[in-house]
Structure 1
Amino acid sequence: MLEIQGLTKRFGGLTAVRDVTTSFERGRINAIIGPNGAGKTTFFNLVSGSHRPTAGRIVFDGQDVTGLRPDQVARLGVARTFQSTHLFDQATVLDNLIVGHRLRTSSTFWDVIFNTQRLKEDERSCRAKAKEVLNFVGLSSVAHHRAADISQEERKRVAFALALATDPKIVLLDEPAGGVNPEETLGLAELIRKMVRSGLTVCLIEHKMDMIMSLADKIVVLDHGEMIAEGTPAQIRSDQRVIEAYLGADYAAA
């Protein structure tokens, strides 16, 4: 589904991602791991269109998307979450999610001015999609709560739902379990599996190795912007370069 060919991103004299070539299969859970500063989030920014690559190609679902704007990439079916979940805190959870499906509507500024039938149909569609994805992530009970009043774990689930509201084919999750406890981490891992069972492809960045090793079909390891290994969890766990750069001997021995 996603092919990366020689991807490079330089910021002045700093090379954040260097000549990365890999691919992610449809309907799989893929993970990107590595130390802080390894280039993981920059990699997501390149794939989602937030940054333009210095060199290389990004091919999504058979189409070259290199250098497209974020909205263009999103319309093709790439959604993402961020390390920090920023919501409209004074709005309800449901109203936050209505925004996500606007990507798939066609009403314009003039439809708003004249309150057209197309606008009304788009609003109904967005509200229905918001309810659908909220139910999918298990948060229907907080639909009418202010976003400011929900827990950190619920905010993570809302971020998932916001991505799902765009009707994606692949979802990029940036540290989806950051700041939540072990029990909540297990719940989010099961939600990721549910997303894949529903037909999505998932790629995630995460530092919780127990979660990654039990969840991922494929792991890509970055260090100083370079890909130093890729493979199954078993292959990554025993890779000496990964042990030295990131996992540490104690984790590998465990």
Structure 2
Amino acid sequence: MFIETKDLTKNFGGLVAVKSVDFSIEEGKINAIIGPNGAGKSTFFNLVSGSYTPSSGKVIFKGKDITNLPSHKIANLGVARTFQTTNLFEQATVLDNVIVGHRLRTESNLLDAILRTKRYKREEKKCRDKAMEVLDFVGLTGITDKLAGSITQEEKKRVAFALALATEPEVVFLDEPAAGINPGETDGLADLMRKMVKKGITVCLIEHKMQMIMKLADKIMVLNYGEKIAEGTSEEIMNNEAVIEAYLGGDASA
């Protein structure tokens, strides 16, 4: 099993945000988590990526229990994640923003940086080369020298993808990657996710754009009030009574 959660639960005081969720993220596929607002989707992401510690239950990555590991150690294992709000260094170039991502894979310390040692210079070149490689992959080589604050919302989304890819992940968690962009741009990001899977990277995303998910995802989990109410293929989810009642029966784009 690639990534598995067992009885995963998170309480915030009296509120149960995620309740006893068992889910397996399948390697080499596009896995999606959907559900109404407040269903516990982002909390689930935060638990798997180490931003939150579970109240109970386990997170297993490739047979290793990572439940209580801090997020930077989980990232080192090959788990990357983007956030709903794309926070970039607005006054830095696109290239410099992405260079930061590969620092996770380098060994230089502050002293190396101050003294500009051979190791620092070698790793700096490696980070730059990696940043250019992933920017090419996401289709942004034309804007590498632009300030991040001056680029479009869709380009910022692609920079967030590039940042995640610069960490050389095995799996990328994407938190609402298509929020705030138009349908044509949404299709472009969907193509980029398929391209990531072809490259051998597993994708797991939270998304509200149902049309996109139903066309894109190999496997879908539906959360409602923190509980898993369904799991399966697009077809199975669309025909599931509990899902229709809890989610699709209301505003399908909510």
Structure-2 separation of matches of 1:57 and 1:97: 32
- Alignment-derived partner of residue 223 in structure 1: 224
- Alignment-derived partner of residue 26 in structure 1: 27
Moved over 6 A (4+): none
Unaligned runs of 5+ in 2: none
- Alignment-derived partner of residue 232 in structure 1: 233
Q: How many residues align?
A: 251
Q: CA deviation at 1:119?
A: 0.6
- Alignment-derived partner of residue 247 in structure 2: 246
Structure-2 separation of matches of 1:154 and 1:110: 35
Give 3-state SS (helix, strand or coil) of 1:96's partner: helix
- Alignment-derived partner of residue 86 in structure 1: 87
- Alignment-derived partner of residue 41 in structure 1: 42
Q: Structure 2 matches for 1:171-190, cutoff 5 A?
A: 171-190=172-191
Matched, 1:14 2:27: no
Q: What TM-score, normalized to structure 1?
A: 0.97
Unaligned runs of 5+ in 1: none
Deviates more, 1:191-200 or 1:240-249: 240-249
- Alignment-derived partner of residue 5 in structure 2: 4
* CA distance 1:30–1:126, change in 2 (3 Å): same
- Alignment-derived partner of residue 142 in structure 2: 141
Structure-1 separation of matches of 2:174 and 2:214: 16
* CA distance 1:85–1:250, change in 2 (3 Å): closer
Q: CA deviation at 1:113?
A: 2.5
The aligned amino acid for 1:203 is: C
- Alignment-derived partner of residue 159 in structure 1: 160
* CA distance 1:69–1:142, change in 2 (3 Å): same
Matched, 1:150 2:151: yes
Give 3-state SS (helix, strand or coil) of 1:203's partner: strand
What is the CA deviation profile of residues 46-101 of structure 1, one whole-angstrom value per residue up to 9, with x for unaligned ones?
Answer: 01100000000101122110011010000000000000101011110000000000
Q: Sequence identity, in percent? A: 63
Q: What TM-score, normalized to structure 2?
A: 0.97
Q: CA deviation at 1:38?
A: 0.4
Q: CA deviation at 1:22?
A: 1.1
What is the CA deviation profile of residues 126-175 of structure 1, one whole-angstrom value per residue up to 9, with x for unaligned ones?
Answer: 10000000000000000000111110000000000000000000000000
Structure-2 separation of matches of 1:218 and 1:60: 18
The aligned amino acid for 2:201 is: L
What is the CA deviation profile of residues 105-142 of structure 1, one whole-angstrom value per residue up to 9, with x for unaligned ones?
Answer: 00112212322111111101110000000000000000
Structure-1 separation of matches of 2:128 and 2:26: 32
